[in-house]
Amino acid sequence: MKISVFSVGKSSIHFVEEAEAYYTRKIRYFTKFEMLKQETKKSVGTDITSVQKAEMDLILRSSAQADRLILLDERGEHLSSKQLATYIAQLQNESVRHSMWVIGGAYGFHSDLYAHSQKTISLSRLTFSHQLVRIIVLEQLYRAFTILHNHPYHHE
């Protein structure tokens, strides 16, 4: 199964790029993986709903080839690392060829996007910057694969 992590926005923090490269290498040991980063142009005076709509359009265009669209959102389901691993195994068992995991922009997702997704997962009740979320998501995907392959990275 191919996994894509799609992030709206950019990062100018060098350690984020380093962490992405580090976990990308590790995840690719287990599965096909790509990190996609896009940013939308925000015009001065643009309202939040318009920004969310532009980001939604970008996400939908980018996810057209994905079998599953998974949103990472504070209002989503709370999963443990083992539950996340079980979910990934379920996707594999269902012969999902491509899943896209989406990190939203600063204003969150447009309400219409939820109807297009198959699952919404929350990483925490805390709010993180999208740069940190990118690292957290990659680490958790790597951890899930190590759980599935009985690798000692994840401790009980």
pLDDT digit string, tens, across residues 51-110? 899 999 999 999 989 999 999 998 899 999 999 999 999 999 999 999 999 998 888 999
Q: ∠32-34-40 over CA atoms, to 5°?
A: 155
Check pLDDT > 80 for residue 156.
no
> Could you tell me how far CA 22 lies from the centroid of its own chain?
16
CATH of 2-148, one of 3.40.630.40, 3.30.1110.20, 3.40.50.2000, 3.40.1280.10: 3.40.1280.10
Domain ranges, ordered by start, for the chain: 2-148
**Local structure of residue 112 (DSSP, 8 states):** G
Check pLDDT > 90 for residue 12.
no
Question: Between the CA of residue 115 and those of 69, 111, 120, what are the distances in Å?
Answer: 10, 8, 10
Give the model's pLDDT for residue 127.
87
The tokens of 120 are what? 């919404």
Burial class (CB in 10 A: 0-12, 13-18, 19+), 15: exposed
Residues 6+ apart with CB under 8 A from 72: 101, 102, 103, 104, 120, 121, 122, 123, 133, 137
